[in-house]
Structure 1
Amino acid sequence: MSGSLGRQLGWAGIEAVIEEKVAMVVLRRCGRRAAGGSPPAPSAVVMKTFGSSYPARRARTMNLRGHRRGTAAAAALVAVVLGATACGSSDGGGGSGGSIKVGAVASLTGPVPFPDATAGAKAAFDEINAKGGIDGRMIEYVVKDDASDPATATQVARQLVDEEGVVGNVASLSAAGDCVTNAPLYERKKVYTIGLGLQLQCSTISTFAPVNAGPVISGALQDIYVAEELGIPEQCFFGVTGQGARATYAAIRRIAESKGVTFKYFSDTFAANDSPTPFIVNAKQAGCRSLYHSGVEPSLVATLQAADAQGYEGVIVSTTSAFTESVIEAAGGAAEGVYSATEFAPLTSDDEAVVSYRKAMEASGGPISALSEGGYIAAQLFASVLGSIDGDITAKSVAAALDAKTPLSNPLLLDKWVFGHYPNRSIQMMQVTDSAWAPVGDVQTLPESALRQ
């Protein structure tokens, strides 16, 4: 802005021009705020952006001269333009019209990636949108990759909350500990998550509730099953290292040992790309009749192949994240007899809800796995909450609906689900028999008291 123009109009006049021009931009950008409503007056748009402090700010800047006055005007312009991009409330990407923005922080890449959950959620949201969305409004699903890194998790969470304005997160599954790392941000902004938890702390945070039981509950129940149902109380354990992994494994060990399990060999130093052969050799030397593997699908396949090559004849049990159909395809005959668990309706069931889930995943090209099933369930639960809200759908209204603790049912869950601490504490053991996963035994449920010892 030139000095000659400032002398002709005066900086106060230039500010007025800025206000009017920016207001016109806002009106063109945002249009009418609601169906049948009238666009706000230009001055109202500018005043809303600045808030109640704007008149005082303007009075103060009237006394400035020269480039200082120009700087103030430029700063005002920047503030208005930035504020205008929100086109309304900063309470979340819902409001009374347009799409409903829903986010997720997920470890899509990194040493221990978990891409399946958000793939399942996307398939569910695609189905919901194809049927008309939520009262005619489409769900826009924004997934951010934290690359299994806590610093990146913090960065992308802020993007979802502050830039995207999501009304909540769905199917977040973060090896970087998003539920813990970003808890203060989510609490401050009232952005709640129906996700999948890796860390036990995820089940104790007010803004996060997992649909899955998680590795601690599932792992402990599997170890207890092997001891009580297979008659093998003395076991071996090795788990893949990662953010919070040691605390997770320590919790599994504590709960399992409280139920009579003993560990002849226990390792939490297995890196995702390590060869499992040394661990298999150690298990054999320790005389382990049962070996629990905690890791994702590729490391289970490598473990099964190494066990087969080493002639290990004991029972192998793996975490639910490795419960996939592709494990059988990749490991071949080495997968026969391996145990895992599901925290939802078994993938092999011919139940109508499972068939619908499988069709949705096939249509989307996503994986059929326990984790994608969890993401699919999380999206369906979240959509039911959105549909229950009267009035504007915002982060605060979603949080209020979840805080009501209304029990939610879903045919893919083993029990009713309520947003809160430890909402899912059940698993169904599965075993590969004749090259296919099949359920074994009854549903196992861990008492909540066992988690508080």
Structure 2
Amino acid sequence: MMRTNRTGVLAAAFLAAVPLLLSAAACERRDTPGATPSSTAAVCPEGLSPNVATGAPIEIGNLSSLTGPGTFPEASKAAKAVFDRLNFCGGVGGRPVHFTVEDDQGDPAIAAQAARRLVEQQKVVAMVGSASLLDCAVNATYYTERGIDAVQGTGVDPVCFNSPNISPVNTGPFTGVTVALYYASNVLKKQKVCRVRLFDIPGFAPAFDAAAARWETITGTRLTYSGAIGKVTDDPTPLLLRAKQVGCQAVVVDGIESHAIAVGKAIRANGLNDITWIGLTSYYTDNVGKQLGPTGNGLLANSEFEPYNADSPALSDVRGLMQKNGIAMTSFAEGGYLAATIFQSVLLSIKGDVTRESVSAALAKLDKYDTPLIGSPYSFGTGKTHAPNQSSKFVVLKDGAWTVAQNDWVTLPS
């Protein structure tokens, strides 16, 4: 009951901020810039060969924002590409995956109705690869009540990381703050580390504060300075100048894409380039690079996954599969691909009939799934909360283009 109440409170606060978040999400599409290294996708998952599945379908659901003010079409398309390949290669014991994608349209009521159609009418065994700013906040309690597990492609709000039935594949903004602070202090060796919060979203501030407090516990040090914006439309410049005044050597700053552009311009205009500035994943967009150009040189950002535009062997299969299916190679596509690939492995591990119960039992046993696309093994397990991705790589702007700042993953200590 306590968990249900907490989820309800978080959901109510989150839904009040949906218009702002949808606007932010619309800015966060990360299309691959310029020339992208070509890659070749595997014909079939390991151990399988071409043999089109024709048996009784296994129902899997996905709830994503496909229309409305902010859209995430790549995630569900990427997940479908994974399952289409599986079906071409024999499916699960001859049974194909029937993947049903529902569009929440950025509307809480529609999100609730869509989840109920998938669970009660479509009889899905699980939710996979969803990329929605509404799904967790609206449906987490319902999924728990109905015994539905969700391998989330993109987790954003606090509810996504505080449900026994949802486990996102991405790092998320809150762990993102912790790992960025840790990168500043333990990798870059900055002594005076600071934080500026530009997100003005009901229900989010406590989660961001807890993320900073977690860094203080891990490192045994305290923030030199912590500032927060009054409202989302405020100019962040006074907070950045204050960080300079108190001697900050590195500052982790969050916010949406428009904040990234404002921060980059304020850094140059006020001579703040002697400070290391680290943004969240929302900063990692081609538009930020384009808008800032050389002005943004040195601005860092958290990538969460293997940087989507890196020339990395780890991206070979996902990039090849996206190219084959005409899907933009973005961070959202990585999340959908990862969620579906992990769930595919779960399905293939099940001995006997694939049901909602056997899927939940298999996910409960999933305590370590290694993939080079993320720096921490993915897990589901039996915990009351799930935030398995505790790693990131960092990218840096140089003359308007994001490049990998370092090849090693930065992983938080247990």
What is the TM-score normalised by the length of structure 2?
Answer: 0.72
Calculate the aligned-residue CA RMSD, in Å. Answer: 3.2
In 2, distance between residues paired with 1:293 and 1:113? 24
Aligned to 2:395: 430
Aligned to 1:103: 61
Contact 1:167–1:394 (Cα < 8 Å) also in 2 = yes
Q: How many residues align?
A: 348
State how 1:213-362 maps to structure 2 within 5 Å: 213-228=171-186, 229-242=188-201, 244-258=203-217, 259=219, 260-262=221-223, 264-267=225-228, 269-271=230-232, 274=233, 278-287=235-244, 289-297=249-257, 299-305=259-265, 307-309=267-269, 311-313=271-273, 314-325=275-286, 327-362=288-323
2:409 to 439, 443, 451: 443
Q: Deviations over 1:44-67 (max 9, x none)?
A: xxxxxxxxxxxxxxxxxxxxxxxx
Q: Which amino acid aligns with 1:440?
A: Q
Change in CA separation of 1:158 and 1:266 when aligned onto 2, cut-off 3 Å? farther
In 1, distance between residues paired with 2:328 and 2:354? 31
Aligned to 1:210: 168
Q: Which amino acid aligns with 1:250?
A: D
Q: Which amino acid aligns with 1:358?
A: R
User: 1:379: Cα distance to partner?
Assistant: 0.8
Aligned to 1:390: 351
Aligned to 1:80: none
* Helix, strand or coil at the partner of 2:236: helix
- Structure 2 unpaired stretches of 5+: 1-53
In 1, distance between residues paired with 2:100 and 2:110? 16
Q: Deviations over 1:46-101 (max 9, x none)?
A: xxxxxxxxxxxxxxxxxxxxxxxxxxxxxxxxxxxxxxxxxxxxxxxxxx944333
Contact 2:304–2:392 (Cα < 8 Å) also in 1 = yes
Contact 1:237–1:267 (Cα < 8 Å) also in 2 = yes
Q: Which amino acid aligns with 2:253?
A: H
Aligned to 2:114: 156
- Using CA pairs under 8 Å that are at least 6 residues apart, name the structure with larger relative contact order, 1 or 2: 2
Aligned to 1:10: none
Q: Which amino acid aligns with 1:426?
A: S
In 2, distance between residues paired with 1:98 and 1:302? 53
In 2, distance between residues paired with 1:446 and 1:343? 13
Q: State whether structure 2 residue 103 is matched by structure 1 residue 142.
A: no
Contact 1:239–1:249 (Cα < 8 Å) also in 2 = no
Larger Rg: 1
Contact 2:294–2:398 (Cα < 8 Å) also in 1 = no
In 1, distance between residues paired with 2:269 and 2:67? 30
Q: Deviations over 1:214-239 (max 9, x none)?
A: 22112111022223425152424123
In 1, distance between residues paired with 2:70 and 2:243? 28
Q: Which amino acid aligns with 1:337?
A: G
Q: Deviations over 1:137-159 (max 9, x none)?
A: 44333333445554443232212
* Helix, strand or coil at the partner of 1:423: coil
2:327 to 345, 360, 366: 366
Change in CA separation of 1:304 and 1:286 when aligned onto 2, cut-off 3 Å? closer
User: 1:112: Cα distance to partner?
Assistant: 6.5
User: 1:285: Cα distance to partner?
Assistant: 4.2
User: 1:279: Cα distance to partner?
Assistant: 0.4
In 2, distance between residues paired with 1:414 and 1:439? 15
Contact 2:374–2:392 (Cα < 8 Å) also in 1 = no
User: 1:395: Cα distance to partner?
Assistant: 1.9
Percent identity over the alignment is 31
* Farther off after superposition, 339-348 or 204-213: 339-348
What is the TM-score normalised by the length of structure 1?
Answer: 0.66
Aligned to 1:189: 146
